[in-house]
A and B are shown apart, each in its own frame.
Chain A
Amino acid sequence: MENSYYNPKDLGKFGDIAEFEPQLAKKFFDYYGSVFEEGELTAREKALIALAVAHTVQCPYCIDAYTEASLEKGANEAQMMEAVHVACAIRGGASLVHGVQMMNKAKKLGM
């Protein structure tokens, strides 16, 4: 905190949030663990989704963790970059599609 808001070592301390409130932490981590279990989606698909979301929420901890997790689930670099582009496309598209709202309003106001 003294020199930077982010410290890579803090990622390894994620579990320590239980120190201030154990019950909710337990519920969260149990849930988190279940989410990433192999289900209808494979563990690798979930890791790639997490990687894309990590870029959307721009969480450096998550990018660190899910880059490694994606590789360890057998994803390759090109797949990972495609996942980031998916995040980028949705994020960019989300801005752009609001252009329709702008157009609606402009057209209503215009002559």
Chain B
Amino acid sequence: MKVASLVSRGHALKDPKEQLRVINSETPVLCTLPRFHQMLEQSGLYPLRPTGIEIFQMNLGYMCNMTCKHCHVDAGPDRKEMMSRENLEHCIRAIEQLDAQTVDLTGGAPEMHPDFEWFTERISKPGRKIIVRSNLTILVTNPKYRAFPEFFKKHRMEVTCSLPFYNKFTTDKQRGEGTYDRSVEALLHLNSIGYGMPETGLELNLVYNPAGAFLPADQAALEADFRTNLRRRHGIEFSKLFTITNLPISRYLEFLIQSGNLDAYMQKLVEAYNPSAAAGVMCRNTISVAWNGILYDCDFNQMLEIPVETESSRHIRDFDPEALNARNIIVDQHCFGCTAGAGSSCGGATAKA
């Protein structure tokens, strides 16, 4: 079935308030589940506080060449939101002010931003890690994007890309027909220029997220499976595998509702609450900048339009790390997705299950 964005369909869930209402109180089961802040309280973590901004994450826009069934961004070809040159300039100032060691570029497909190369060149410097979150298929779309891996290499960017499984059936089911074959082509190309190969220092990481209403497998075990299978089937090499839990928002939330899995999935997340994963959640060391310059605790809060608490530094033009480090992080029921089992972050698991 062809997937279209919630926005393009005028779906009720395109409204973040409706998403929050659903996960908080759509059914009797959801109403009786413990609240996330209560669990944090029991773990001695409430209010949740930052540990310092280590990762400067930027969402360059919601446009994407793909429309994956589980996308928490509701990205797609129809989405036109794109970070302005002005906001990019604000980001450059903030990155320099912080002397950020890690800049994480996401989207949509961040490569589709017309200023992607210009911006990367402006912030690239030795010792600074720039992560590009690529969907892989974009890299084999046309000659313009086929040239991107060489650009990544020039700036020694870390390429972190989505691959939900090492087979066609599962991958295409989640991300659309033909995705697996194009991903394999892109990975082989990245390998051919040194990405993911030992001793090149060019990191090529894969992101696994479950193709359904269940939690990810153990990260190390799954990494070993991916390595064995991708090597045997295609001769593909990669650096690390990150497991990410699907958060119950946006199109994944739509899937949970349609498939009748919402109650059971939320119960599963709550039952799997892990205090050590809660202590290691990524919102504590990350700041997320949206295309329109608004600052968020994480990319998920961005999609739910819950900006940082800090009124004086709520836009990138007013970036004030000191004020941001003094903020309380805003949590809601979707946060259970990052604290279940071994935990989940943009860098994979955060704890032992």
A residues with a Cβ closer than 8 A to B are 42-44, 68, 71-74, 76-78
Contact = CB atoms under 8 A, between A and B. Distances in A.
A106 to B, nearest CB: 46
Given A44-B217, A71-B210, A71-B212, A76 B222 contact: no
B285 interface: no
Contact of A43 (B170, B212, B218): B218
Nearest to B341: A72
7 contacts: A43-B221, A44-B217, A71-B212, A72-B217, A74-B225, A76-B165, A76-B167
Q: Classify the interface of chain B: helix, strand, loop or mixed.
A: loop
Interface string B68-91: 000000000000000000000000
Contacts of A71: 210, 212, 214
Contacts of B215: 72
Interface string B221-242: 1100100000000000000000
Contacts of A73: 217-218, 221
Interface of B: 165, 167, 169-170, 210, 212, 214-218, 221-222, 225
Contacts, number: 30
A77 B169 contact: yes
B170 A76 contact: yes
Contacts of A77: 169-170
A78 B167 contact: yes
Nearest to B223: A74
A44 B167 CA distance: 17
Nearest to A67: B214
The list of the 6 closest CB pairs from A to B, nearest first, reads A74-B217, A74-B222, A71-B214, A72-B214, A73-B217, A72-B215
B218 A74 contact: yes
B82 to A, nearest CB: 36
Contacts of B214: 68, 71-72
Given A68-B214, A71-B214, A42 B169 contact: no
B216 A72 contact: yes
Nearest to B167: A76
Contacts of B218: 43, 73-74
A68 B167 CA distance: 19
A71 to B, nearest CB: 5
A27 B147 CA distance: 62
Contacts of A78: 167, 169
Given A71-B210, A78-B169, 8 more contacts: A71-B212, A72-B214, A72-B216, A72-B217, A73-B221, A76-B165, A76-B170, A77-B169
